[in-house]
């Protein structure tokens, strides 16, 4: 009988010992004991990375055709997108547009005969968007869409339309110009 009692006592002591150790003690490199139990603080770190401020635009577009003295368009230029991946606490940016004159051979239709209409702007992230609804294009960069009071990554996209007022004295031909968007 004494042997059985001894085994029961030894078994109970074993159970107490195994349940008194924290479950993480076998895998943790550090164990702290407190009066109420166990605690093992782990300092945890990570890095939020930053990216760039970019703008993407369509490669090319044909605005259509029209006779002298008429207006060609308005025709959609294609989606313009600003991506601000700088992960800034106070993000702001300005998108601008400019245009060369439109030429065919020695003939020119001035950039100022082109009207740029911003249209609807969609955004993602935290940013306040403002825009100039319509402007006449020029060779000088003009702000068309701006973002302020941003936080973290954000973006804005719009599909502007272009209308060309063809001068009455315009000569027939395929006119070519370059509309340039930039962001800073």
**pLDDT tens per residue across span 56-113:** 999 999 999 999 999 999 999 999 999 999 999 999 999 999 999 999 999 999 999 9
At 37, is the pLDDT very low, low, confident or very high (cuts 50, 70, 90)?
Answer: confident
Structure confidence at residue 10 (pLDDT):
43
**What is the average pLDDT value for the chain, to the nearest integer?**
86
Query: Residue 18: pLDDT above 50?
Result: no
Nearest CA-CA partner of 123 in 156, 152, 90, 96: 156
Q: Tens digits of per-residue pLDDT, 110-139?
A: 999 999 999 999 999 999 999 999 999 999
Structure confidence at residue 49 (pLDDT):
87
> Which residue did the predictor score with more confidence, 172 or 1?
172
- In degrees, to the nearest 5, what angle opens at C-alpha 116 toward C-alphas 110 and 120? 170
Radius of gyration of the chain from Cα atoms? 34
Query: Residue 39: pLDDT above 60?
Result: yes
Residues 6 or more apart whose CB falls under 8 angstroms from that of 172 comprise: none
Residues 6 or more apart whose CB falls under 8 angstroms from that of 126 comprise: 149, 150, 151, 152, 154
Sequence spans of domains, the chain: 2-39, 53-183
Q: Are 114 and 102 in contact (CB under 8 A)?
A: yes
Q: Are 96 and 53 in contact (CB under 8 A)?
A: no
Residues 6 or more apart whose CB falls under 8 angstroms from that of 174 comprise: 104
Report percent pLDDT > 70 for the chain.
Answer: 80
- DSSP output for 157-178: EE--EEEEE--TTPPSS--B--
* Alpha-carbon gap, residue 79 to 145, rounded angstroms: 13
At 13, is the pLDDT very low, low, confident or very high (cuts 50, 70, 90)?
Answer: very low
Nearest CA-CA partner of 117 in 156, 147, 175, 74: 74
């Amino acid at each position: 009988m004494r042997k059985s009692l001894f085994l029961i006592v030894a078994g109970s002591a074993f159970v107490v010992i195994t349940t008194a150790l924290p479950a993480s003690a076998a895998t943790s490199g550090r164990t702290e004991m407190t009066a109420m139990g166990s605690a093992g603080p782990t300092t945890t770190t990570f890095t939020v990375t930053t990216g760039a401020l970019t703008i993407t635009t369509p490669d090319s577009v044909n605005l259509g055709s029209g006779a002298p003295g008429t207006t060609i368009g308005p025709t959609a230029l294609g989606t313009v997108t600003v991506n601000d991946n700088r992960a800034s606490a106070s993000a702001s940016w300005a998108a601008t547009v400019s245009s060369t004159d439109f030429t065919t051979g020695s003939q020119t239709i001035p950039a100022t005969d082109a009207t740029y209409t911003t249209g609807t702007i969609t955004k993602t992230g935290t940013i306040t968007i403002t825009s100039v609804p319509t402007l006449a294009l020029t060779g000088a960069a003009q702000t068309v869409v701006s973002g302020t009071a941003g936080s973290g990554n954000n973006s804005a996209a719009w599909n502007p339309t272009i209308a060309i007022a063809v001068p009455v004295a315009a000569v027939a031909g395929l006119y070519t110009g370059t509309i340039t968007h930039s962001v800073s």
